[in-house]
């Protein structure tokens, strides 16, 4: 007796415009810079930046270039999506930021390239490595990875 039935749910393509909040972020990425949103009412920096403050609901008018990035957490991937061993493990870091020594709420998850594992300690300063300018599209993959300073 037939017991199983295979079918798929597919959508050939999604297109997500980056929107108002993503605009400043994208411009920054293209220039090789990272911007945080600043809410003047709550005196709060946010990353990734949005168009509005989720707490006071006011429109974000100021985006500030981050001045410091550091490794807050990391994880090491040994297997791919299907559970097969990766040729080389991939390290993902949770990167937090500061603007002029002020903390930024949130952060970014990104790849970390580590030459010397002994340097991989929490809190260490990291720097983004961008793709060549002509390849940047204003998306998060414009950053190839972060490296430990």
Partner 1 sequence: MKPENPPGTPYKRNDLEEGRVLYTEDSLELWYRWSLGKYLSKYLEGLKEGRILGRYCKACGRIYVPPREVCQYCFRETDEWVEVGDTGRVNTAVVSYIQADRSRMDKPLIIAVIELEGASKGMGILHRLGEVDPEDVINRKIFGKKVKAVWKPPEERTGSVNDILYFKPVEEV
Partner 2 sequence: MRMNIHLKNRVACVGAGMTLFRRRLYETSDELMWLAAKQALEDAGLTIKDIDCVVYGTAPDNFDGIHMQSEALADGGGALNKPYTRVYVGGGTGVFSAIAGWWHVASGLCRRVLVIAEEKMSHVQPHPQYVFHHIFDPVTEKPLGVNLIWIFALEMHRYMYKYNIKKEDIALVSVKNKRNALDHPAAQLGMKITVEDVLNSEVLVWPVQRLDISPISDGAVALVFTDEENAKQLTDEPIWIEGVGWNLDTMYWTNRDLAFPTYLYYAGKMAYKMAGIHNPRKEIDFAEVYDPFDYKELHHMEGLQLARKGEAPILTREGVTERDGDLPINPSGGLLGVGNPIAAAGLMKVAEVYWQLKGQAGKRQVKKDVVTGLAQAWGDLMQVGTVIIMRR
Binding site for partner 1 (CB under 8 A): 1-18, 20, 22-23, 26, 137-139
Burial class (CB in 10 A: 0-12, 13-18, 19+), 66: buried
Helix (H, G, I), strand (E, B) or coil at 29: helix
- Rule CB under 8 A: say whether 145 interacts with partner 2: no
Among 27, 33, 56, 133, binds partner 2 (CB under 8 A): 56
Cβ-closest residue to Zn ion?
A: 53
Question: Does residue 57 touch partner 2 according to CB under 8 A?
Answer: yes
Q: What are phi and psi of 21, to 5 degrees?
A: -70, -35
| Residues 111, 90 contacting (CB under 8 angstroms) | yes
Taking the complex as a whole, the smallest distance from the CB of residue 131 to Zn ion amounts, in Å, to: 33
Q: Which residue's CB is nearer to partner 2, number 32 or number 106?
A: 106
Q: 107-146: which residues touch Zn ion (CB under 5 A)?
A: none
107 vs 8: CA distance, rounded Å: 35
């Amino acid at each position: 007796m037939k017991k199983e039935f295979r079918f798929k749910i597919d959508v050939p393509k999604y297109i997500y415009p980056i929107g108002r909040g993503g605009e400043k972020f994208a411009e920054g990425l293209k220039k090789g810079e990272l911007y945080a949103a600043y809410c003047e009412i709550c005196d709060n920096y946010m990353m990734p930046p949005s168009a509005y403050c989720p707490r006071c609901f006011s429109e974000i008018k100021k985006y500030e270039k981050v001045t410091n990035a550091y490794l807050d957490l990391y994880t090491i991937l040994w297997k791919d999506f299907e559970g097969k061993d990766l040729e080389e493990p991939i390290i993902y870091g949770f990167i937090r930021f500061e603007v002029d020594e002020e903390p930024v709420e949130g952060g970014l998850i990104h790849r970390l390239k580590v030459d010397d594992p002994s340097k991989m300690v929490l809190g260490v300063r990291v720097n983004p490595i961008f793709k060549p300018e002509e390849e940047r599209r204003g998306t998060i993959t414009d950053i190839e990875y972060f490296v430990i300073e």
